[in-house]
Amino acid sequence: MPTSRPLLRQKIRDLRKTITPEQHAHYSAQLVDRFMHHERINRASCIALYMSVDGEIDTAGVINWCLNNNIRVALPVLHPFSKGHLLFLNYDKNTVMVNNKYGIPEPELDVRNVIPLNRIDIMCTPLVAYDSNGNRLGMGGGYYDRTLQIYNQTGEGPFPVGLALDIQEVESLPTEIWDVPLPEIITPTRDIIFEKNIREPAGKPRP
């Protein structure tokens, strides 16, 4: 497996694209089952998710499951003024979607639909690869690392959960000081907890 981040990123992206539509449908159903039986997810009132692209695990099923179980869904939108940052907007089945500059569907920007981070209980993050320490390799834009810095430093804000296919696991990832390790990763077959990456808010344990 390549050791440089760009080469590793391309290797895993190519590997993801070998998965058939039938396999994706099966993995999506397994992911829904994991959401159904996940205690923290079932306690949540608002979960940030994302629209799948580029061979990522299909999130359509868990988005619909959340909406059908009275869990509010927030989707990321590229911040129009603050480069490299995200906003999160309310999503439902009537939301108008547009493609951003990366070709990723996102809600049409409307400030009335912005959900502040302190109103989001869980933030499900996309990833290209992950390792046995919960390190996450993204697409290189740093959007989620910036978003999750508050959690990483103080324990405040949404609890991060990576969503991935099992084939995206590698032995070890090269990391940078700005990378935010994930406390939990859910795949179709496993729910992996990384205790050392869990941050608790000062003076008040997370429910």
Which of 187 and 175 is assigned the larger pLDDT?
187
Looking at residue 178, what is its pLDDT?
Answer: 82
Looking at residue 100, what is its pLDDT?
Answer: 94
Paired sense of beta strands 184-186 and 191-193, if any:
antiparallel
Judged by DSSP in three states, 88 sits in strand
Looking at residue 44, what is its pLDDT?
Answer: 98
pLDDT at position 1 over 70: no
Dist CA 168 CA 51 (whole Å): 18
> Could you tell me the CATH superfamily of domain 5-197?
NagB/RpiA/CoA transferase-like (3.40.50.10420)
Work out the pLDDT band at 200, boundaries 50, 70, 90: confident
State the CB neighbour count (10 A cutoff) for residue 149: 13
Looking at residue 24, what is its pLDDT?
Answer: 96
Looking at residue 142, what is its pLDDT?
Answer: 87
Kindly state the tokens that stand for 27. 């993995």
Segment 75-118, tens digit of pLDDT: 999 999 998 899 999 999 999 999 999 999 999 999 999 999 99
**Domain segments of the chain as ranges:** 5-197
pLDDT at position 2 over 80: no
Looking at residue 134, what is its pLDDT?
Answer: 96
Judged by DSSP in three states, 119 sits in helix
For the chain, what is the mean pLDDT? Answer: 93
Looking at residue 203, what is its pLDDT?
Answer: 60
Identity of the residue numbered 25: A
- Checking 84-92 for CB contacts under 8 A at 24+ apart, the result is 84/141, 84/142, 84/143, 84/146, 85/143, 85/146, 85/147, 86/143, 86/144, 86/146, 86/147, 87/114, 88/48, 88/114, 88/115, 88/117, 88/120, 89/113, 89/114, 89/115, 90/115, 91/49, 91/63, 92/67
pLDDT at position 206 over 70: no
Integer-rounded Cα Rg, in Å, for the chain is 16
Dist CA 162 CA 185 (whole Å): 4
Segment 152-173, tens digit of pLDDT: 989 999 999 999 999 999 988 9
Across 2-16, 80-94, 100-114, 125-139, least confident range: 2-16
Segment 28-83, tens digit of pLDDT: 999 999 999 999 999 999 999 999 999 999 999 999 999 999 999 999 999 999 98
pLDDT at position 198 over 80: yes
